[in-house]
Amino acid sequence: MPHRYFTTEIHDGQAVLSPADSRHLCRVLRARAGQAVTLCDGAGTDYDARITQPDPDCCRLEILSSAPSASEPSVQVTLYVGYPKADKLETIVQKATELGAARIVPFYSAFCVSAPKKGGKEEHKNARYNRIAFEAAKQAGRGAVPAVELPLAYPAMLARAAQADAALFCYEAGGQPLHSRFSGGAQVRTVSIVTGSEGGFSAAEARAALDAGLCPVGLGPRILRCETAPLAVLSVVMALTGNLQ
């Protein structure tokens, strides 16, 4: 199987790898001219390419053909996750990328343990989350890299989440069965999944979600941890939409 790399440097039938990927391909893997490589532009297109200049500092390739990435799901799923403490968000970002999420958006709510960081620290953490998504996308063979956004306030999050074809509000007090939202052959192209932080949601926040048009769904009789719930729901949505076959 050809090695696979992300690059946005694709122009006029030619492509260039980053210095890090060039060193890995040409020095570590000892690639030679003429060897086949699969390139991804990070936006859902794969390219069959051939090495023309195996330079460890700037590997150049010739584009042979392109096609939509077969690894991208048929639905665009955005995870809205209550901002958790410690390194739990790193786990969510990594695993959600592997499972096919299109976007991960943290938000602050009443029972969040973590508070917004000042002095540019939130931007620094966000850059790390996006690096984690990039590396996970490479490992999983994704054709697109999910964006990890800066945290939103709760009302702004609800307004965004409600715009999806299926907007799911995962609530510990229960709701509709998850599979019912995807029955009846309805065409669903965009999905929002909203899950809480360690403390869950207040009653007022649950009412606000319903008023915004989100559909409350239950996740069974067990209480899932804040890092488990989004991944569990994402997996079920992917299965119900035929993206785990």
The bridge status of strand 60-68 relative to strand 14-16 is antiparallel
Same domain, 83 and 58: no
If one counts the domains in the chain, the total is 2
245 domain-assigned: no
Does the pTM surpass 0.85? The reply is yes
Do 165 and 91 belong together in one domain? yes
Residue 76 has pLDDT above 90, yes or no: yes
- 143 with 229, same domain: the answer is yes
At 9, which CATH number?
A: 2.40.240.20
Q: What is the mean pLDDT of residues 52-72?
A: 95
> Of the candidates 68, 92, 118, which is a domain's last residue?
68
Residue 182 and residue 219 share a domain: yes
Asked whether residue 28 falls in the same domain as residue 93, the answer is: no
- Residue 131 inside a domain? The answer is yes
Q: Residue 136 sits in a domain of what CATH number? A: 3.40.1280.10
Q: In this structure, are 203 and 105 located in the same domain?
A: yes
Same domain, 91 and 151: yes
Using the structure block, give the residue that is written with the tokens 């998504």: 133
Summarised one tens digit per residue, pLDDT across range 30-49 is: 999 999 999 999 889 999 99
Tens of pLDDT, residues 15-26: 999 999 999 999
- CB-neighbour burial class of residue 30 (10 A; exposed 0-12, middle 13-18, buried 19+): exposed
Candidates 209, 234, 193, 230; CA nearest to 84 is: 230
Backbone angles phi, psi at 38, to 5 degrees: -100, 125
Question: Do 91 and 59 have their domain in common?
Answer: no
**Nearest of 230, 203, 205, 207 to residue 219 by alpha carbon:** 230
Same domain, 46 and 155: no
Q: Are residues 46 and 115 in the same domain?
A: no
- Look at the chain and count its residues: 245
> In terms of Cα–Cα distance, which of 109, 114, 112 is closest to 204?
109
Which CA distances in Å does 239 have to 71, 99, 170, 232?
A: 14, 10, 17, 11
Q: How far apart are CA 231 and CA 168, in angstroms?
A: 14
Whether 96 and 15 map to the same domain: the answer is no
What pLDDT, on a 0 to 100 scale, did the predictor assign at position 187?
79
- What is the band of 6 on the pLDDT scale with cuts at 50, 70, 90? very high
Match 């992300």 to its residue by tokens.
Answer: 6
CA distances from 146 to 22, 45, 46, 74, 154 (A): 23, 14, 16, 15, 21
| Residue 202 reports pLDDT greater than 70 | yes
Of 189, 192, 229, 195, give the one whose Cα is nearest residue 214.
Answer: 192
> Is residue 62 domain-shared with residue 119, that is, in the same domain?
no
Mean pLDDT calculated for residue range 137-152: 94
Its domain, for residue 156, covers 76-240
Which residues contact residue 4 at a Cβ distance below 8 angstroms, ignoring those fewer than 6 apart?
Answer: 37, 38, 39, 40, 138, 141
Q: Rounded CA gap, 168 and 145, in Å?
A: 23
Please identify, among 33, 68, 103, the residue that sits at the C-terminal boundary of a domain. 68
Tokens 């090695």 — which residue? 3
- The pLDDT assigned to 25 comes to 94
Average pLDDT for the chain: 92
